[in-house]
Amino acid sequence: MTYDPAYIDAVLAAASFRSQRCAIHFHLSAADREDLYQTIVLDALERSSRFDAAKGSAATFTGRLALNAANDFLNELKKCRGRFCALDPWVANDPDFSQDGDLFDDGSSLWGEDQDCFAEIDALCDLQSAWCLMTDAQQGLLQQLIIHPDQPTACRATGYSTPTFYRRVADLRMHFRLFGLAAAA
């Protein structure tokens, strides 16, 4: 099967971008990153017959395919990591310990089935990026908001006038929104 060179360029660009982004956000090893890259490329080539240039650009189509393939890859990786269990360090010295049983039957998995650790890690990375690019005044305000149980108490602790305090809180919220973090509804 022959492929359009523009489509191939779009596939390679999307695979490179998505695998690099996932490697950064999810701390993938070099081997996992390469596996993800190859998975995206193969998936996009298998689905090339579905691409219609009249409906959209190759970059848009391959970008969506790369996102879906990366999500599938990361979910499978999460399942594999979910099978990792923590053994009691004293087991090595226990003469009654038997390796005949299934290590995963006792429910000692470090990752629960209902937790989305990748989303949590992604949020923490975004929070760290937001913190690094805050001014000293914004960092101080955030620390006061963390320390005090409510905003009126934090307002009194900062020494700002009420309008200034709430304006700075609004600015802080906007700063977080720039990094993809929004307040809970």
pLDDT in single tens digits along all 185 residues of the chain:
678 889 999 999 999 999 999 988 888 888 889 999 999 999 999 999 999 889 989 999 999 999 999 999 988 888 776 554 444 555 555 556 555 544 444 444 444 455 566 777 777 888 888 888 889 999 999 999 989 888 999 999 999 999 999 999 999 988 888 877 776 54
Instruction: Please give the class, per CATH, of domain 117-178.
Output: mainly alpha
The pLDDT value recorded for residue 86 is: 44
Instruction: Write the single-letter amino acid at 91.
Output: V
Per-residue CA distances from 176 to 118, 139, 155, 160 (Å): 19, 12, 19, 21
Q: Where are the domains of the chain?
A: 5-82, 117-178
Q: What is the pLDDT of residue 78?
A: 81
Please give the structure tokens belonging to residue 179: 């990094």
pLDDT of residue 111: 46
What local confidence, expressed as pLDDT, does residue 42 receive? 94
Tokens for 24? Answer: 């950064």
Cβ contacts of 72 within 8 Å, gap of 6 or more: 39
Q: Is the dihedral of CA 134, 140, 146, 148 positive or negative?
A: negative
- CA torsion sign for 174, 175, 181, 184 is negative
Encoded tokens for 108: 């000692």
Q: How many CA atoms lie within 13 A of 170 on its CB side?
A: 6
Helix or strand holding residue 162 (H, E): helix 162-178
Query: What is the C-alpha separation between 120 and 130, in angstroms, rounded?
Result: 15
CB atoms within 10 A of CB 14: 25
**CATH value of 5-82 in 3.30.450, 1.20.120, 1.10.1040, 1.10.1740:** 1.10.1740
Cβ–Cβ under 8 Å, residues 70 and 36: yes
Structural contact between residues 10 and 59, judged by C-beta atoms closer than 8 angstroms: yes
